[in-house]
Amino acid sequence: MNKIFLITGPAGVGKSTISMKIAENLNKSVLIEGDDIYHLVVGGYVSPWKEGNHLNLFWQNCKSIIANSLNNGYDVVFNYILSKEQVADIKQSFVNCEIKFVCLMVDENTIVKRDKLRPVDCQMGERSLILLNEMKKENFDENNILDTSKLSINETYLEILNNKRFVLK
């Protein structure tokens, strides 16, 4: 049975780093960086948090890539800032897969420190703290939250790979 790993969390928490590490350690995998899919739109681009965005096209594209990858025997690692509703939609769309959902979280000091380690053009500044607080308000199931404030990259990805608590039921 193919697997889908949904990795979410605020900007700067380490979604891309952890997703890459997971994908590298699967036998046959596809890594889908949600930001890359969202940025396929050039003419008419609108930030995802603004009115007039192209999130409908984004989700259609993401689900198509996920489906195509699964149909060709690949496990999928997908990372993006996800809401409860979006996780439920993916779960409903891919019922024949094991789906592990993980919301990576850290404390405020750690998110600020990690954001400053990113390349200058990728730093989110205040937006990282806003997103951290928005993720807290999502009230994801406790079983799907992983505080990585004191975990290394290796400890984090191994926890996700090996712990069944992240499997959506």
16-67 pLDDT, tens digit each:
999 999 999 999 999 999 999 999 999 999 988 899 988 999 999 999 999 9
What is the predicted pLDDT for the residue at 135? 85
What is the predicted pLDDT for the residue at 134? 86
Domain span including residue 60: 3-166
3-state secondary structure of 50: coil
Q: How many domains does the chain have?
A: 1
132: amino acid identity, one letter? L
Note the pTM of the prediction, 2 decimals. Answer: 0.91
Nearest to 148 by CA among 105, 94, 87, 88: 105
Nearest to 161 by CA among 21, 48, 44, 62: 21
- Per-residue pLDDT of 85-128, as tens digits, reads 999 999 999 999 999 999 999 988 888 888 888 888 888 888 88
Cα radius of gyration rounded to whole Å, the chain:
15
Residue 168 in tokens: 């959506």
103: Cβ contacts below 8 Å, ≥ 6 apart: 8, 9, 82, 135, 138, 140, 144, 145, 146
Nearest to 65 by CA among 108, 87, 33: 33
User: At 123, which CATH number?
Assistant: 3.40.50.300
